Chains A and B, each alone.
Chain A
Amino acid sequence: MRINDFSITFSTVNGSGSATANNTLLRAIFKMGIPVSARNIFPSNIQGMPTWYNLRVSAAGYLGHTENCDILVAMNPETVQDDLDKLESNGLLLVNDDIPLKDVPQKINKVLMPVKAILESSGTAQNLSIYLANMVYVGVLACLLEIDLQKIEAALEYHFDHRRNAVEPNLKIVQAAFQWAQQNISHECQFRLKALENQGEKIMIDGNTAGALGSLFGGLQYAAWYPITPATGLAEALNEYIPRLRLDPQTGSSTCVVVQAEDELAAIGMVVGAGWAGLRSMTSTSGPGLCLMAEYLGLAYFAEVPIVVWDVQRVGPSTGLPTHTSQGDLAFTYFISHGDKDMVILLPADVNECFEFGWKALDIAEQLQTPVIVLSDLELGMNIWGAEPFAYPDKKIERGKVLWEKDLENWLKKSGQTWGRYKDADGDGIPYRTVPGNLHEKAPYFTRGTGHDEFAHYSEDNRVWEENLKRLKLKFEQAKKLIPQPEMVKQGKQKIGFISYGSTHMGTSEAVDRLQTKDYPVDYLRIKALPFTREVEEFIQAHETIFVTEANRDGQMKNLLCMNFPKYAERLRSIARCDGLSLSAAWIVEKFKAAIKAKG
């Protein structure tokens, strides 16, 4: 008997209402207090193409992707034979009984679900059957895995926002299917769910919504965006939550503006304009959109405009695989825009960090007066994850060195100097800035992407140019104190270390745990942001071999580490893949062992 530790793949056709069925099960299991994760593997299409939903329950709390499944729910005749290849040999198959099956391995338990008959017996209207058919497997699984039907009903209530006229037709089918399974399935199911007590109040949310909420709690004032999968949900969540969170209670006036731009070229331009004028501003996009933003990011860096850019990564290059996940934008983001420049990059690994980095990114951008890029991905952004409730920001909002009329007047008096927009008055490379609307006659200055001196005057003087670039480098050094520090996930003073970041943490942390129990003790450091801090270098220094896990072809993080720490380059090894899926623990372990073996 496998209790609270198995995976289910639902194979359906997109546009057939499978999202409702799958989310209902996910939430019902979540409400039982069992750690559960789910991935939607879907096509860039509206209706009629194959789609999969991989649900994993893990009492140990592992959320990573699994290559194979223990239970297969087959509702799509076109893919059923391929799907069977991924079913573990001692697994369970639930299949619509009108799907013809060729070879099903002997050891597999088979349940043929009479979907049509169950729908009829539940009294479901024919015109609705096509959208509700998937509720049949919800009922059958509820019976086999022992999910309380009240939990299913609660999940449906949540899904349909308590609209009973939507809940009831779905629930009726679940009940009919449950009853059918009770009466017709004689063999005992080898998988079981058992509710866990004392799990505390957990939340379940997608990374895009988490990022939007974090930004709104971070005092975001202006967002401009252009629709693109998989980032769209982030901007839409802003629109959804502004009326609830960001209307001034006294005036009813909105304290945050969202503009849907004509393209990403304009979205970033708007955000740079807003950031320059003293609004906390951000945009959200994915790889193709980020390409269009490259030039303005260079201007924002050079003109020292605070902005935040969320890149919810998908597979590239080019249009790539729009609905599949990747960490392929790291190197592009690191080097984005022409000429000498540096970018601050935050790397959230879960929905809690999407929230946290949402508000932190705005602080860091304004403190440093520079662009901050948050690299999320489709895996985090578009899937729903169980998590601890969001923690209220533990620091007050940081606006950085902004001088309003009185501040400027005081600064002038106190320093006895002439104020200059790009003057390094404090020796930390971070100048003081004024913003439009400041009516002090000394406040205005001319912002430009061309060469300028410390008073923002046009200059082509080669020494002025170089001094300014050196100051920008000094300023960037301050980022190391402001960004989230790396997390030492496992420190046992071993010879082998792992480094990972972002959503690849899920598979990596599980792989690292598996290796501990199998005589390969390893340490593990998770990088949360760039630039690299001293801890990263020390970790590499302390280990003979370091494996860097990531979801891209060339091992982009590994390459950046080699470039930044060339004397340790030979220690760094890549475990990377770019097939549009997150790295599973099993695959990481396999690659690791092969690498160790090859090394001898």
Chain B
Amino acid sequence: MEATFKRSYPNALGYSRSDYLGLPTTLCKGCGHNSIANMIISACYELELQPEKIVKFSGIGCSSKSTAYFLDRSFAFNGLHGRMPSLAEGALFADRTLKGIGISGDGDTANIGLSQFKHLARRNLPMVYIVENNGVYGLTKGQFSATAEKGLKLKRQGENPYLPVDIALEAIAANASFVARSFAGDPKQVKELIKAALSHDGTAILDIISPCVTFNNQDYSLHSYSWGKGHEAPLHEVEFVLPREEITVEDFERGTVREVTMHDGSVIVFKKLEREYDPTNRTEAIRMLEQAIRRNWLITGLIYVDPNAPTIFDMYPLDGEALNRLPAEKLRPDRRALEMINSSFQ
């Protein structure tokens, strides 16, 4: 059911980039999260999405605040700490044509929200789930999160004694159908991965290293700009191609390009770098992540994708119109139905 009122724009593809903006950020200058917000804006603009058809979700933390800094013309729900996935699992059933974008942080996902995060992945609810991962709690001024590396030193906390949680590995273990890792210092890759994620029919998890310039940007820290720049090891060069665009691969040498066709007909093109990597092979993905941990690599790119995994919507007979548009007469069974119920209990 389309709206019948008059729009200020001639057609759905006529939005300018400014139509995707949010409020001015209140995060620290140089925060990785701002760069990611900008890439979400660019990705939505380039994909020509209608802002009103996007629903933003977030939990609690610096990252979760950032849903206010993009897509001001979209609905948003800033929920409870670590419990954004459940909100989305309820809300997105209302209208399955809406696209969900969830923004979380490492504390919100890997500490308090680990359970909901993993259950979201295993249910494969179609939505984008971005973790802005900086290894540290910002709003409470600098405590370790579960993704902080062992041995990390923070001003008031001393040295972190625990091994970290690897969000991408957790996602794959939970049978996620789309798992990517990127680095806020590599905005082009971030943008291409967000575009791919937005076209994925399932939960698309993006673990984006997003340095905290105030509390955790020491050169040796795994979540800092300088470490990321020095250690980023892209699995491939990613390019996202819309269904209607022509793929021009002549530029690439034969055998150096891999393509994955998404559910909506769009294509992700992977250009081979130093090593061969197949992002549709789950075993390979787990092996690669293990190797990255042992060798201290910041591997980035699309780690794993299964474009055809069944989603949570496939588990219900939902073929009709949006649930939240059903008229009252479709929601209340008639008197005869109640008579039958009554007689079945006599």
Contact = CB atoms under 8 A, between A and B. Distances in A.
Interface stretch (B161-169, B176-184, B199-207, B314-322): B314-322
A436 B95 contact: yes
B95 A392 contact: no
B125 to A, nearest CB: 10
Contact of A274 (B74, B94, B316): B94
Interface string B313-346: 0001111101111101011110101100111011
A214 to B, nearest CB: 10
A440 B52 CA distance: 8
B223 interface: no
Interface stretch (A174-182, A247-255, A512-520): A247-255
Contacts of A389: 342
A257 B93 contact: yes
A259 B86 CA distance: 11
Nearest to B320: A253
Interface residues of B, number: 62
A219 B327 CA distance: 10
Contacts of A266: 83, 85-86, 89, 115-116, 119
B115 A299 contact: no
B326 A255 contact: yes
Contacts of A436: 55, 75, 91, 94-95, 98, 324
A265 B98 contact: no
A257 B316 contact: yes
Interface string B84-128: 011111111111011000000000000000011001000000000
Nearest to A213: B341
Contact of A269 (B76, B86, B333): B86
Interface stretch (B2-10, B142-150, B295-303): B2-10
A374 B66 CA distance: 37
Nearest to A409: B5
B94 A217 contact: no
B29 interface: no
B328 A217 contact: no
B307 interface: no
Contacts of A262: 115-116, 119
A242 B99 CA distance: 27
Given A221-B331, A261-B86, A439 B52 contact: yes
A437 B346 contact: no
Nearest to A205: B345
B227 interface: no
Given A205-B345, A270-B89, A278-B324, A253 B319 contact: yes
A63 interface: no
A107 B291 CA distance: 83
A276 B323 CA distance: 13
A438 B52 contact: yes
Given A436-B95, A444-B74, A277 B324 contact: yes
Contacts of A335: none
Contact of A450 (B75, B78, B86): B78
B44 interface: no
A435 interface: yes
B277 interface: no
A103 interface: no
Given A279-B323, A439-B3, A296 B80 contact: yes
A76 B166 CA distance: 56
A91 B172 CA distance: 67
Contact of A273 (B8, B78, B91): B91
Interface stretch (A115-123, A393-401, A560-568, A573-581): A393-401
B69 to A, nearest CB: 11
Contacts of B326: 221, 255
A448 B320 CA distance: 31
Contact of A439 (B53, B88, B323): B53
B73 interface: yes
A406 B2 CA distance: 10
B124 to A, nearest CB: 13
B78 A446 contact: yes
B40 interface: no
Contacts of B262: none
A427 to B, nearest CB: 27
B3 A390 contact: no
A280 interface: yes
A429 interface: no
A272 B90 contact: yes
A202 interface: yes
A198 B289 CA distance: 75
Given A221-B323, A441-B73, A406 B5 contact: yes
Given A279-B323, A437-B322, A271 B328 contact: no
Given A269-B86, A437-B322, A444 B338 contact: no
A125 interface: no
B98 A437 contact: yes
B345 A204 contact: yes
Contacts of A440: 3, 5, 52
A488 interface: no
Contact of A270 (B2, B68, B86, B325): B86
B215 interface: no
Interface in A275-326: 275-281, 295-296, 299, 303
A281 B83 contact: no
Interface string A364-397: 0000000000000000000000000110110011
A97 interface: no
Nearest to B112: A265
Nearest to B94: A277
Nearest to A201: B346
A245 interface: yes
A216 B333 contact: yes
Nearest to B324: A278
Given A203-B346, A441-B73, A405 B5 contact: yes
Contact of B323 (A204, A257, A399, A404): A257
B79 A449 contact: yes
Given A266-B85, A270-B90, A299-B80, A405 B319 contact: no
Interface string A197-230: 0000111110000000100111111101000000
A246 interface: yes
A272 B50 CA distance: 25
Interface in A419-470: 435-441, 443-450, 458
9 contacts: A224-B90, A254-B316, A266-B119, A274-B93, A274-B94, A277-B91, A277-B94, A435-B75, A458-B68
Interface of A: 201-205, 213, 216-222, 224, 241, 244-248, 250-255, 257, 259, 261-263, 265-281, 295-296, 299, 303, 389-390, 392-393, 396-397, 399, 404-406, 409, 435-441, 443-450, 458
Which 4 A-B pairs rank lowest in CB-CB distance, beginning with the nearest?
A269-B86, A273-B90, A219-B331, A274-B90
Given A280-B331, A390-B342, 17 more contacts: A203-B346, A241-B341, A245-B333, A248-B330, A253-B319, A253-B320, A254-B317, A255-B320, A262-B116, A272-B90, A273-B77, A274-B94, A275-B90, A278-B324, A436-B55, A444-B52, A448-B77
